Structure 1
Amino acid sequence: MKNLFLLVSGILSLSLVGCASAPKPLYSWGQFPQQTYLSLSLPEKALPQDQIIKLEKDIEKSKAQNNAIPPGLYAHLGLLYLNTNDFSRATEYFGLERQIYPESTVLMDRLLKKMTGQTASGAKK
């Protein structure tokens, strides 16, 4: 009788474990890792405009599915906009990165300071 009880409880335990679903990922990465890798390994093939389009689509999908934007995505988009001389959008995305991920404040402030120094004087510092 004791063996039967152990067998039934074991089978029941295993069946309940099988009902557990996979945990939801913390971030919705989309194409961000691939685009970052491409921009670092083959910069001639990673045009900023193409990356901007792909990454902004990923952001729209993430927001529609109520998923979190991964750390660094807004900063990367800010740098892409900076490369295309769209300073207002770059400032917007650096601010978003700083707002959502406060640990990036020091870096974002330095980028914003350097960017405003560039745009104010017209030359790199």
Structure 2
Amino acid sequence: MGKAFVSWGVMVAGVMGSGLLAGCAPAPKTLYQWESYQPQVYQYFEGDPKEAQIEALERDIQKIRSTNSLAPPGYHAQLGLLYLSVGKDDQMVQEFRTEKVLFPESATYMDFLLKNAKKGS
């Protein structure tokens, strides 16, 4: 009975020790760095000033780039829509093209937006 108790105690100590080590492991790195993207999309639909939204997204993209992270899908498209709404067509085109390069699955939609933006000019 003494040996069984000791081996059971060693097993429990081993499980607890590995649990403690797992608790110290660093959190996995997220695929995308969101910054204030989601609140900015909400503010876009709320009608908040476009210039302030552009400033926030531009500031955030600098932070994202400085950490060698990726902006989430839609980030550059949102920034492009904001540029379009304030008449910065060259920057809008650049953002839509960036979205297409980073997320090829968005190409059809980005082409649609570019085509319709040119018609509106």
Aligned to 2:103: 101
Q: Deviations over 1:19-53 (max 9, x none)?
A: 2111122211111111111121x21xx11111111
Compute the RMSD of aligned alpha carbons.
1.2
Aligned to 2:9: 4
Structure 1 residue runs of 4 or more that deviate by more than 6 Å after TM superposition: none
Task: Please report the TM-score for the alignment, with normalisation by the length of structure 1.
Answer: 0.87
Summarize the alignment of residues 72-87 of structure 1 with structure 2, pairs less than 5 Å apart: 72-87=74-89
Higher helix share: 2
Matched residue type, 2:101: Q
Look at both structures and tell me which one has the larger radius of gyration over its CA atoms. Answer: 2
Aligned to 1:23: 28
Matched residue type, 1:100: L
Quote the Cα distance in structure 1 between the aligned partners of 2:29 and 2:59.
21
Task: Please report the TM-score for the alignment, with normalisation by the length of structure 2.
Answer: 0.89
Deviation at 1:115, TM superposition (A): 1.4
Where does the alignment leave 5 or more consecutive residues of structure 2 unmatched? 1-5
Deviation at 1:117, TM superposition (A): 2.0
Which of 66, 82, 87 pairs up with 2:68? 66
Identity %: 35
Deviation at 1:118, TM superposition (A): 2.2
Instruction: Establish whether residue 116 from structure 1 lines up as the match of residue 121 from structure 2.
Output: no
Aligned to 1:123: none
Where does the alignment leave 5 or more consecutive residues of structure 1 unmatched? 120-125
Aligned to 2:3: none
